[in-house]
Structure 1
Amino acid sequence: MTKDKEVELIRILEHNGRIESDVLAKMLDESEEDVKKTIQKLEDDHVILSYAAVVDWSKIQSEESIAAMIDVKVTPQRDVGFDEVAARIQRFPEVSALYLMSGTYDLSVVVEGQTMAGVASFVSNKLSTLETVLSTTTHFRMKKYKHDGVVFNQDEKDRRMVVSP
């Protein structure tokens, strides 16, 4: 499979990882065997890391969680920069995503918990106590409109009253 077709395959799978290999083969004008081999190679090479469903947890009330984005300012370590502190932070089970950022803060940490108090406890007892962490700013997610390209609550009507002069 050519590199261009491989990239096209990756884009298709990123958008919908459930497409059957025979359908992918038709979409790419390739044999099903080549598609399966390429997917296996991409998984073995850690290009494709995971297949995930985007779920609207707000529709399952007993499973809804609190999410927070935490801006973290840290002191980089000699010879390893931010990698060592990032490795420590990513090991916490509460952390669902972690990014090195440019700008005012160094790291952006996405945390999920069952309650605001649980997230606050993580920040004050685990994250802020790391010796390289200088400061944190926590932002709680209020509502999810779009995630990984998927728009949430498309069928909800805007119930605000229109006011015009």
Structure 2
Amino acid sequence: MDLSDEVVELLRENARYSVEDIARQTDSDPSEIEAIIDDLEDEGVIKGYRAIVDREQLDEETIRAVVELNITLDRETSYDDVAERIAKFPNVESLHLVSGDFDFMMEVEGDSMSEVSSFISNKVAPVPEVTQTVTHYVMTTYKEQGIEFGDGSDDDRLSVSP
């Protein structure tokens, strides 16, 4: 694994590592690490830095949904064309071309189920290539981007033994 790959892996593990932390862990010079990070950002390898938030711990309620999209393409339109159009909507948190029974998997957020439903029916479904949507509302998140939520001791069911 080259140094750039090591830097990427360390930042994926914890984006708050300082340049000095990464340099120490890779036995490198901090100026070299800083240059690598700058290059990765300039090349678009690193797109941004975000906190992983346990939304259930917040007072505000955000509704999240995973939406399956089926697409029918014509000769002039590609999956990339459809994805580019759908990804521009601010409610869309992620959009993936996938294999299987549907074409795209989209994650959306809104302030209410009504807002999410309205967004899907008024903005996504009318896209000419979209032939079907199936919406799954997220009830509880147990793990996101490799980070587990909760401490695992929330099971208050009584043990039953024969």
- Structure 1 unaligned segments of length 5 or more: list them: none
Give the alignment of 1:9-158 within 5 angstroms. Answer: 9-62=7-60, 64-154=61-151, 156-158=153-155
Residues 37-84 of structure 1: CA deviation (Å, up to 9, x unaligned): 11101111111111111111211122x201000000011242542111
Structure 1 vs Structure 2 CA RMSD: 1.3
**Cα contact 1:77–1:84 (8 A) shared by 2:** no
Matched residue SS, 2:151: coil
Deviates more, 1:75-84 or 1:7-16: 75-84
Residues 100-155 of structure 1: CA deviation (Å, up to 9, x unaligned): 01111001111100111111111111111111111111111010000011111116
User: Aligned partners of 2:139, 2:160: CA distance in 1, in Å?
Assistant: 25
User: Aligned partners of 1:33, 1:56: CA distance in 2, in Å?
Assistant: 34
Identity, % of aligned pairs?
36
TM-score (norm 1): 0.93
Deviation at residue 23 of structure 1 after TM alignment: 1.6
- Structure 2 unaligned segments of length 5 or more: list them: none
Matched residue SS, 2:2: helix
User: Aligned partners of 1:8, 1:77: CA distance in 2, in Å?
Assistant: 42
Q: How many residues align?
A: 162
User: Aligned partners of 2:152, 2:95: CA distance in 1, in Å?
Assistant: 32
Letter in 1 for 2:128: E
